Amino acid sequence: MTDELTVLHEDNHIIVVLKPQGTASCPDESGDDNLFDAIKRFLAEKYHKPGNVYLGLIHRLDRPTGGVMVFAKTSKAASRLAEQMRGGDFEKHYLAVLVGAPEEKRATLVNYLKKNPVNNMVYICPPTTDGAKMASLEYRIAQEAGGLALAEIRLHTGRTHQIRVQMAGIGHPVYGDMRYGGETAKKGRLALWAYSLSFTHPVTRERLRFMAEPPEDGVPWKAFDLSPLFSL
């Protein structure tokens, strides 16, 4: 996977990369190769570092979701970026192709979610449920075409499978999400992409924004004109 690593930015403190869809963000119980380990190999090879290479995991993307991620190259950077995450200074924007168009073209969704570790599924539940966590996002429908809708989504919280669960909860699952969309979803690769990440550099304090378009081979993306989103 090291040969396929797409680096959007690197300096002495951080590295920003593109996570491919279908790749785990970090090591998990599957034992599969993952982005975290691939970056460590990349840094070890590039700088001829023997032994263990430090890399700080700041946030995750679900395995089927691709897009922009930032990792810390020093413990100081990791601590400061984690503080930004807790303080809400991280801005994570996603693109999703939804099955059908929501009646409300712009809205904020707030639900309580609970994960079932047995089947790795997340469910919307009452706020009083033991272990329930609040999940919030806002979405805007940018375009509609052929029974599909292109949604721009900003996360306020970072819960597991959050976008997939909350959009399916309003009856408009993400294209390709057979797990949460069931019969109403369309078969194909999950059309969910972390296209924009904005944060303050942990050392220079410069405000940074990184953007990346979804893969060209993704069938549902071709129904929309994405250029306005990347010409800002």
- Integer-rounded Cα Rg, in Å, for the chain is 18
Active-site choice (28, 62, 130, 217): 62
d(CA 24, CA 21): 8
Closest by Cα among 36, 70, 68 to 53: 36
Angle at Cα 191 formed by Cα 64 and Cα 188, nearest 5°?
85
Q: Residue type at 3?
A: D
Q: Which residue has the tokens 């090879």?
A: 45
In the annotation, is 3 catalytic?
Answer: no
| Residue pair 174/98 in contact by the 8 Å Cβ criterion | yes
HSE toward the beta carbon, residue 53, CA cutoff 13 A: 20
Active centre residues (catalytic): 62
